[in-house]
Structure 1
Amino acid sequence: MIKKTVYSLLFLVCVNLSFSQSIEDIINQVSNANLQLSVAELSGEQATLINGTSQTIVSRVQSNNDLTADYIEERLSALPNLTVAVQEFNTVGKNIIATQLGQTNPDNIYIVCAHYDSVTTFCADDNATGVSAVLEIARLLSNQCIDNTIVYALWDEEEIGLLGANYYAQQAADETNGNTRDNILGVINVDMIGYDGDAPGTEGDNEFDIDVRNIANSVGIKDDIITILNTYTFDLNVIVVNPGTTASDHSRFWNQNYSAILVGESWETNDQTPDYHTSNDRAEDIDFQYMTELTKLVAGYIATKAGLIAVDNTITQTASNLSSNDTSASYQWYNCDTNLAISGATNQTFVPTASGNYAVAVSNGSCTEQSICTAFSVLSTEEFSNIEVNVFPNPVISILKINNFTEKELKITVNDISGKIINTLMSKKEHIEINLEKESLGIYFVNIASKTKLSTFKIIKE
């Protein structure tokens, strides 16, 4: 059966029962689709929204990459619990630094970083891949309460002498004029993680390098990364390079006797992109599954070292309300469709008065975490008839089609089986299409609502 009854009734038996997140949860939530989109936007192969308008990043060369800096700053600034700063270190160079303070040990700092400048156009692998990985890790961890501080750093002017990272490392180590040396416990530099010599998406060796030297506790970081690799499930094979290369940003932290490593594709086995430092370095040559695995590995390490504080940011949903599963906190409910706090909605249980997507921010002392957005529909007594709305094909492979014969504006929301929002749109068009090509195989729910009617369709993606 395709068509369900009222959407709210679905959740009488399908309730969000997940709990506060574990390291494995963080690893599993790394999104291949997000990484593909970010690489396409950063390499200029796809337009994106920057400063409120659709623009294309046509260059990341250090003399002309202000638009890239704006892109990175905007995306980090949109995330919770981050303080974002632009660190100008010469007349044109600027690092983008986002800090997520630890609740228990704020002076204990872990840095995950990548350089965003390039030597020519496109340069998808070098280093749109690294930047995309850092942004994805920030997306996942910024919603978490953590013991130790994470710094998400995007360096400028790596390609002309590692200048951005060098400036930051020198400032961090400066003990003159009463300054205190920053307690940086680990630096993970992510530089070129998108090329594996096997055809993209096929089985292969999936080797990657960890470049390390016997400086401070750098070897200990390498050991911890390998422990993460062996503790959870990854399709990766590690090559340890010691002494590792000094030709990327991590080496500037070695110069200041900080612990640091480089994670990247395997130059040690000559399995690096053949289009290095050319405009032929394009997104179409990236093995995104391989890149996703490396992003998961780094995310697992950073989450482990940050120390996740056990706050329950999940929601239970019934036909009539949403309720936070944390019973001893303060609460603020949000409308995800407007990204605004809902005035007066500060109780553990929230009763929506209109259909939409909602989340709750749970605060426990100085620690605040926000739930995922959850779709909720107010009970409706009338559904669309088959001559008003129909959804096809089912099963669907890529393009889902919706016929709207109502001549009214419809709100369409697509959720996966867990309730996570996959797509949402408003449309008055008679024929509507939704691209599900990049979504995982499985069951999805398409919720279609007007001001007076509501129907939910169960769709299978093959």
Structure 2
Amino acid sequence: MKKVTAFLFTCMALQNMSAQSFIQAYKNRADMVTQTNINTNLQDFAGLGVKKTGTTANNNALDWLKSKYLSYGYTAADLSEDTFTYAGNTSKNLIITKTGTLYPNKYVIICGHYDTIVGAGVSDNGSGTSIILEAARILKDVPTEYSIKFIHFSGEEQGLVGSSHYVDNVAYQGNTRVLDIKLVLNIDQVGGLIGNNNNTITCERDTGGVSSNNTASNAVTQELMACTTLYSPLQTNLSYAYNSDYIPFEAKGYTITGFYETIESNNQHTVSDTFANLDPVYVFNVGKAAVGALQHFAVASTNNNLLSTNESSVQKSGEAVRIYPNPAQNLVTVEFQQKVKQFNIEINDMAGNTVLALENQEKINTSGLKNGVYTFTIKTEKGNTTKKIIINK
């Protein structure tokens, strides 16, 4: 990963907030980023060792990423791999595609690299990797107008090899632009250093390269800054894009933006880039900013249901469902306006973990659930509906 030494312009992005509205549903989903999940992802990433491009550890990291997406409910058809070679070794970029409702062939890309060159690279770039995973988990069932590609690049540390291969062979083929990309949001090294006052994140805009895309990049970076202040507790710095996986996209004229830590840890590319040395709360807060911004860029549903924000086909068909009482204690009732022969119920906590899965059960014993907020998803042959229920004993 890069080292930025340029002067950074401190900015709170207040000038954009009047034009960019706060959306409660976006904030609710941003708040679904959990410190537990961030920590687990970072520690798992550290446990995979030195993930140098083309090594067994690098391949193991790829398998770990794929298993995470499958656990979130993505299917094998949603996942694709872009294989390339470097110095005689084979490595792969991993691409997960979530299809948009109005513009299925226009993409918002959120990306970061998973390879490391010295040490475990928990900040550079386990931090970006963990945030992309959380964003994919949270937005799995949230309708977005634009398609989203969650991309994990390898070969970054050898000179943007993986992202260059993807741009030259997937986004472009020869001189033909194949992918219509709305923008690229790159997240690289946002772990900070534990003990620093990590209350600010750097937002990066395009200031060089292909000049025709600079204005668009500046505009979306201003939007990124506004989203950061709307959906996270972080302040923002404005800087320039440099030497990470968005650069090959920029060279082809695409619009780019990105996140990078403001107070540099200087642990990148050393054995000191460990979980113990980064600030996990900083990663957590950047994750909130990323989820808020990604919803803005992809134009996510503003329905306030937390997990599935589709207007339920159950409700459209007249089979409205009541789940009560709310708050509840030890018993929750599911009641349909019309008789439903077959239905399934899935109850998830706010970390996205399934705590109960039931079939055709209208009286649900919740005595085993701890106090807190849960999502109850009712699935029938005609569709799904999700409601938020508070358990308060």
TM-score, structure 2 length as denominator? 0.72
Amino acid at match of 1:80: G
What is the rounded CA distance, in whole Å, between the counterparts of 2:311 and 2:252 in structure 1?
39
Counterpart for residue 284 of structure 1? 276
Once the two structures are superposed, what CA deviation does each residue of 1:253-307 show, in whole Å capped at 9, x if it has no partner? 10111111221102xxxx2113221111110112122211111111111111222
What is the rounded CA distance, in whole Å, between the counterparts of 2:356 and 2:332 in structure 1?
22
How far apart are 1:312 and its partner, in Å?
Answer: 5.0
Task: Find 1:360's aligned residue among 378, 386, 389.
Answer: 378
Task: Find 1:58's aligned residue among 21, 36, 49.
Answer: 49
Q: Is the 8 A contact 2:27 2:231 kept in 1?
A: no
What is the rounded CA distance, in whole Å, between the counterparts of 1:125 and 1:324 in structure 2?
49
Once the two structures are superposed, what CA deviation does each residue of 1:211-268 show, in whole Å capped at 9, x if it has no partner? 22145221121011122134x25332222113x31x11011110111111221102xx
SS, match of residue 59 in structure 1: coil
What is the rounded CA distance, in whole Å, between the counterparts of 2:122 and 2:275 in structure 1?
5
Task: Find 2:183's aligned residue among 174, 182, 186.
Answer: 186
What is the rounded CA distance, in whole Å, between the counterparts of 1:118 and 1:75 in structure 2?
19
How far apart are 1:363 and its partner, in Å?
Answer: 8.7
1:208 matches 2:220: no
1:251 matches 2:263: no
SS, match of residue 106 in structure 1: strand
SS, match of residue 93 in structure 1: strand
Q: How many residues align?
A: 325
Structure 1: gaps of 5 or more residues: 1-19, 45-56, 375-417, 420-444, 446-457
Counterpart for residue 66 of structure 2? 73
Q: Is the 8 A contact 1:145 1:369 kept in 2?
A: no
Q: Which has the higher contact order (CA 8 A, sep 6+)?
A: 2
Amino acid at match of 1:85: S
1:408-423 matched pairs, under 5 angstroms: 418-419=390-391
Q: Is the 8 A contact 1:77 1:84 kept in 2?
A: no
- Check 1:361–1:259 CA distance in 2 against 1; reply closer, same or farther (3 A cut): farther
Task: Find 1:264's aligned residue among 245, 260, 264.
Answer: 260
How far apart are 1:353 and its partner, in Å?
Answer: 7.6
What is the rounded CA distance, in whole Å, between the counterparts of 1:229 and 1:58 in structure 2?
31
- Check 1:95–1:363 CA distance in 2 against 1; reply closer, same or farther (3 A cut): farther
Counterpart for residue 344 of structure 2? 333
Once the two structures are superposed, what CA deviation does each residue of 1:25-73 show, in whole Å capped at 9, x if it has no partner? 11111111110110011011xxxxxxxxxxxx23312132111100001
Task: Find 1:159's aligned residue among 157, 171, 178.
Answer: 157
Counterpart for residue 324 of structure 2? 317
- Check 1:94–1:24 CA distance in 2 against 1; reply closer, same or farther (3 A cut): same
Task: Find 1:88's aligned residue among 83, 101, 115.
Answer: 83
Task: Find 1:35's aligned residue among 35, 38, 47.
Answer: 38
Counterpart for residue 393 of structure 1? none
Structure 2: gaps of 5 or more residues: 1-22, 304-309, 313-320, 326-330, 348-352, 370-375
Task: Find 2:133's aligned residue among 114, 132, 135.
Answer: 135
Once the two structures are superposed, what CA deviation does each residue of 1:68-127 show, in whole Å capped at 9, x if it has no partner? 100001111222356112221235110111100001111120011110000123221111
What is the rounded CA distance, in whole Å, between the counterparts of 2:195 and 2:354 in structure 1?
42
Counterpart for residue 174 of structure 1? 172
- Check 1:279–1:191 CA distance in 2 against 1; reply closer, same or farther (3 A cut): same
SS, match of residue 248 in structure 1: coil
Bigger Rg, structure 1 or 2 = 1
Task: Find 1:304's aligned residue among 265, 290, 296.
Answer: 296
Q: Is the 8 A contact 2:119 2:269 kept in 1?
A: no
SS, match of residue 185 in structure 1: strand
Identical-pair percentage? 19
TM-score, structure 1 length as denominator? 0.62
SS, match of residue 254 in structure 1: helix
Amino acid at match of 1:333: N
1:228 matches 2:246: no
How far apart are 1:339 and its partner, in Å?
Answer: 9.7
- Check 1:281–1:175 CA distance in 2 against 1; reply closer, same or farther (3 A cut): closer
1:110-125 matched pairs, under 5 angstroms: 110-125=108-123
Q: Is the 8 A contact 1:332 1:341 kept in 2?
A: no
What is the rounded CA distance, in whole Å, between the counterparts of 2:41 and 2:103 in structure 1?
32
